[in-house]
Amino acid sequence: MQIELIETFLDLVETRSFNRTAERLGVTQSTVSARVVALETAVGARLFTRSRAGTAMSTEGLRFEAHARLLRADWTAAKRAVAPSGDAALTLRIGIQNDLAAGFVGELVADIRRTLPQAALYIEPDYSAQMCADLASGAQDFAVLFTPKPQPDLHFASVGELTYRLISSEARTRADISPASYISANFSPAFEQSHRSILPELVAAPLSVGQSATIAALLNALGGSGFVMAGMAASMVETGRFLYVEDIPPVGQPIFVAMHLRNRTARLYRRLVRSVTRSLVPLVSLKLRS
């Protein structure tokens, strides 16, 4: 069976639109229709119904969906299994939340290499939604992220909480913060909600950024106020150029690991979770001192 048929089926499950799926896959609508017909012929059942109300899954389509996801993941894993990997016994593709990469990835890779010396590693900083999609498709094996996107095939577990502090080059209290020079942090939906509840008047700041290191760089270059990781905040305050905004509490950001559901009890993945937990200690322990 051609994997393009499975990919088209799963995209159509999400969009419920032949036209939208054609746009997303970069093919014509007639190609999408032909692939669906070919897949239905192969499985011997009608998977979708089309009407004026739109495209809907048939009962058989609903039953086939879980198998299609597994087929896609297995196909991706099979291709990676035969790809060149030097002398390594296995290759692990690991996604890391963008905001964690700079201060965390070194410790993590060192710990994994000590624990799994036979593994070749591919590390990719990314955002949570894309990592969840890559895990579901089999393009990634494991991820450390901020925002779980529940899917039937994915397993998530909490491994800690990161702390952010509000610092400023010009304000010691909330009342002194200038909206014109405030840099709004948008690290995740959870962080955004906390930010909105604490500083609703600054949500619509003229500059919004989704990475702590970028906010730090902008503060160093432009001055102003913004949330950065607790460790980064401490280093910047130590320079004497920045102050903690005293009447604004630290904001916590939960950290999760994610993997395919069938891997959650495998020894290899339990070892990866332990590596992540150990590697996060220097970052999450700052919560106790902030």
Distance (Å) of CA 269 to CA 91, 94, 241: 13, 11, 43
Q: Supply the mean pLDDT for the chain.
A: 89
Pick from 28-42, 87-101, 159-173: least confident: 87-101
77 — pLDDT class (breaks 50, 70, 90): confident
Count of alpha carbons within 13 angstroms of residue 257, beta-carbon side: 24
Q: What percent of the chain has pLDDT over 90?
A: 69
Q: How far is CA 4 from the centre of its chain?
A: 25
Place of tokens 């993945």: 269
Residue 237's pLDDT is what?
A: 97
66 — pLDDT class (breaks 50, 70, 90): confident
Given the DSSP bridges, would you call strands 182-185 and 207-209 parallel, antiparallel or unpaired?
Answer: parallel
Domains of the chain: 3-71 (1.10.10.10), 90-160+253-282 (3.40.190.10), 162-252 (3.40.190.10)
CA 190 – CA 196 distance, rounded (Å) = 10
What average pLDDT does the segment 90-101 reach? 91
Distance (Å) of CA 112 to CA 119, 120, 160, 232: 8, 10, 18, 25
Residue 217's pLDDT is what?
A: 95
Is 106:123 a contact under the CB 8 Å cutoff? no
User: Quick one: DSSP state of residue 204?
Assistant: T
Residue 290's pLDDT is what?
A: 43
With a cut of 50, say whether residue 60 has pLDDT above it.
yes
**Between 167 and 283, whose confidence is greater?**
167
Q: Where are the beta strands (DSSP E) in the chain?
A: 48-51, 54-57, 90-97, 119-126, 142-145, 154-168, 182-185, 207-209, 225-229, 243-244, 251-260
